[in-house]
């Protein structure tokens, strides 16, 4: 064939839409797929190079047209990039699709114009936001897929699965996934009930109605230190102690079960919520164990444990397992770290400036006989003004400190206005983050169940006879189309368009043998059917071209460039 002409117009048919341009236009972006198509070389050699890149291309010599089975709408923007040098992102195309098309045409995503970069990045930001939510949405997973996800897939081929492998995912889902079954919902409700009871008990223990003051002076005087003075101890109502004990017993059973049946122990240990569970349970048992000891060290430890009882309030964070909104709030706080730092910096600068200003402004009205100039005001120094500035900038206004002079009042007014403006700037960003995360979480919860896709079983990529057939491409022939595969393996596409795949086991071994040894095939229905198809192919020579040195098929043949290997309708026949 002849070479391309620089002024020759090239016709590109992408997804049924014809585009016509010049070779010089396609050369403006070297290293891309279309630039390779417009290179100064024979058409055969160009197509041979394109075979090394995954994709699909068909050349029609009659119309001098190249067909690409790709998205036609996105290609219009790609071709416009060759013409103008500016790559814009279509607003009506999903981001992952546009990213995939850019990868196919060999265009770097960093070439997207700044005006469209945020639109292009929206899908990736949404995917990253969705990944942080572990909502355990049921996507129609089969039992084996759930087992693989949990790391507990059954490997017994004979079906004799151990009780541990059988019940481990069941028990784990009961305590981890509240939406997996009715029993899991009941356990989640029980856990929620005990959490609320435990928090209520913790709060009631501080009320004087449930506390009794006991005089320990007599017992102390009978000890080794009789002159230590009167000592009193506050004793909580035993009823609250029993209620707390029941709650801790439930939390202990729940924690031990989750530890035992967790598929990945390391991930369980690293979980913040699990650490909170352990820290909230441990002080109760230590307090019970040390309560009967009378040594000074035991009493000191016991007093410390009573002080750290506040860790029990951390159980409130366990509610995040049951309420999506709490998880959204946590992810929002983590995602808004930069905004919070910016808010703190703004407040710190404002506090420092206005605390200094109010200190010197209050000195203006000092009396002559006041050497410190601070007798008439509460702003004795600048550090005291920090508290006033924080309260004023956050618009709280406790009223414990206020300016006495007119100059101090002016500074106070400026401080309040600056506080409103300072807080108003980063807060909308945080609110938008919360709205985005919440909408994504709700969307992920309402995702419909995915239907299981039935994909034909093919030989794995590591096999020497592997050929990845493009199931998405259609075959125009009305007859059975044969695809040549390395090792003389054949795939057939019948009239209905359905691909007939050979068996991976005995069929592959026997087809790779000499064709004359077909009589050695086992007399099974599947083998005989495949053998008949193969003999039919040998008898009809018009379906098999003689061996030639050309590396490209005749014009009009379909080329499937999958993993750099050709799978086509008419290819040279290689006989062992």
Domain ranges of the chain: 9-131, 174-322, 335-445, 481-568
Alpha carbon distances (Å) from 406 to 262, 355, 411, 447: 67, 16, 9, 62
Distance CA 136, CA 177 (A): 7
Q: Can you identify the CATH homologous superfamily of domain 174-322? A: Voltage-gated potassium channels. Chain C (1.20.120.350)
Quote the strand ranges of 15-134, DSSP E.
17-22, 55-60, 65-68
Phi, psi of 179 (to 5 degrees): -100, 10
> Is the per-residue pLDDT at 551 higher than 60?
no
Residues 6+ positions from 198 with CB-CB distance below 8 Å: 244, 247, 248, 251, 312, 315
Higher pLDDT, 381 or 573: 381
Q: Is the dihedral of CA 19, 20, 21, 22 positive or negative?
A: positive
- When computed from its CA atoms, the radius of gyration of the chain, rounded to whole angstroms, is 38
* Local structure of residue 521 (DSSP, 8 states): S
> In terms of CATH, what superfamily is 9-131?
Potassium Channel Kv1.1; Chain A (3.30.710.10)
Name the residue with higher pLDDT: 190 or 301. 190
> Quick one: pLDDT at residue 529?
46
Between CA 67 and CA 81 the distance in angstroms is 19
> Is the model's pLDDT at 499 over the cut of 50?
no
Range in 275-289, 363-377, 389-403 with the lowest mean pLDDT? 363-377
CATH topology of domain 335-445: Helix Hairpins (1.10.287)
Q: According to the model, what pLDDT value does residue 49 have?
A: 55
Q: What is the pLDDT of residue 293?
A: 67
Helix (H) or strand (E) holding 483: strand 481-485
User: What is the distance between the alpha carbons of residues 172 and 151, in angstroms, rounded to a whole number?
Assistant: 12
What pLDDT does residue 390 have?
94
Angle at 471 between CA 470 and CA 477, to 5 degrees: 95
- Give which of 60, 91, 62 is closest to 77, Cα–Cα: 91
Hey, which of 103-117, 215-229, 413-427, 517-531 has the most confident mean pLDDT? 413-427
Query: Is the confidence at residue 170, as pLDDT, over 60?
Result: yes
Q: Minimal CA–CA distance to 180: which of 195, 191, 169?
A: 169
């Amino acid at each position: 064939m002849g070479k391309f002409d620089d002024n020759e117009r090239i016709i590109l048919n992408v997804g049924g839409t014809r585009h016509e341009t010049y070779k010089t236009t396609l050369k403006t972006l070297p290293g891309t797929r279309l630039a390779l198509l417009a290179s100064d070389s024979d058409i055969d050699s160009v197509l041979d190079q394109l075979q090394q890149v995954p994709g699909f291309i068909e050349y029609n010599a009659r119309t001098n047209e190249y067909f690409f089975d790709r998205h036609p709408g996105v290609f219009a923007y790609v071709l416009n990039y060759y013409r103008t040098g500016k790559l814009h992102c279509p607003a009506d195309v999903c981001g992952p699709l546009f990213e995939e098309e850019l990868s196919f045409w060999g265009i770097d995503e960093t070439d997207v114009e700044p005006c469209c970069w945020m639109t292009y990045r929206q899908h990736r930001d949404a995917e990253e936001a969705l990944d942080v939510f572990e909502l355990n949405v049921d996507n129609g997973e089969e039992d084996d897929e759930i087992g693989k996800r949990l790391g507990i897939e059954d490997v017994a081929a004979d079906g004799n699965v151990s009780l541990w492998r059988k019940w481990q995912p069941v028990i784990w889902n009961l305590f981890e996934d509240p939406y997996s079954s009715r029993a899991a919902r009941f356990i989640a409700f029980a856990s929620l009930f005990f959490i609320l009871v435990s928090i209520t008990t913790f709060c009631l223990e501080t009320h004087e109605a449930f506390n009794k003051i006991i005089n320990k002076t007599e017992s102390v005087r009978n000890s080794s230190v009789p002159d230590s003075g009167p000592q009193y101890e506050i004793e909580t109502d035993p009823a609250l102690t029993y209620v707390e004990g029941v709650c801790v017993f439930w939390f202990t059973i729940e924690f031990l079960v989750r530890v035992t049946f967790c598929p990945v122990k390391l991930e369980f240990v690293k979980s913040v919520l699990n650490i909170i569970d352990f820290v909230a349970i441990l002080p109760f048992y230590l307090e019970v164990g040390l309560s009967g000891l009378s040594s000074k060290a035991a009493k000191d430890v016991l007093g410390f444990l009573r002080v750290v009882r506040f860790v029990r309030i951390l159980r409130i964070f366990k509610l995040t397992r049951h309420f999506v909104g709490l998880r959204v709030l946590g992810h929002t706080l983590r995602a808004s770290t930069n905004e919070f730092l910016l808010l703190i910096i703004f407040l710190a600068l404002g506090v420092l400036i206005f605390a200094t200003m109010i200190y010197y402004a209050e000195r203006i009205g000092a009396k002559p006989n006041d050497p410190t100039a601070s007798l008439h005001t509460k702003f004795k120094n600048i550090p005291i003004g920090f508290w006033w500035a924080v309260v004023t900038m956050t618009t709280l206004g406790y009223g414990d400190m206020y300016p006495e002079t007119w100059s101090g009042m002016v500074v106070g007014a400026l401080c309040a206005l600056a506080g409103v403006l300072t807080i108003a700037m980063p807060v909308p960003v945080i609110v938008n983050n919360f709205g985005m995360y919440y909408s994504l979480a709700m969307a992920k919860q309402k995702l419909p169940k995915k239907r299981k896709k039935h994909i034909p079983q093919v030989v794995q990529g590591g096999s020497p006879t592997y050929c990845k057939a493009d199931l998405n491409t259609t075959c125009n022939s009305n007859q059975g189309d044969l695809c040549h595969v390395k090792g003389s393996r054949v795939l057939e596409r019948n009239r209905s368009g359905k691909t007939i795949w050979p068996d991976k086991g005995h069929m592959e071994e026997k087809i790779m043998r000499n064709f004359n040894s077909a009589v050695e095939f086992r007399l099974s229905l599947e083998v005989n059917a495949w053998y008949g198809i193969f003999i039919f192919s040998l008898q009809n020579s018009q379906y098999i071209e003689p061996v030639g040195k050309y590396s490209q098929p005749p014009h009009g043949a379909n080329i499937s460039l999958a993993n750099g290997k050709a799978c086509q309708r008419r290819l040279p026949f290689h006989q062992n």
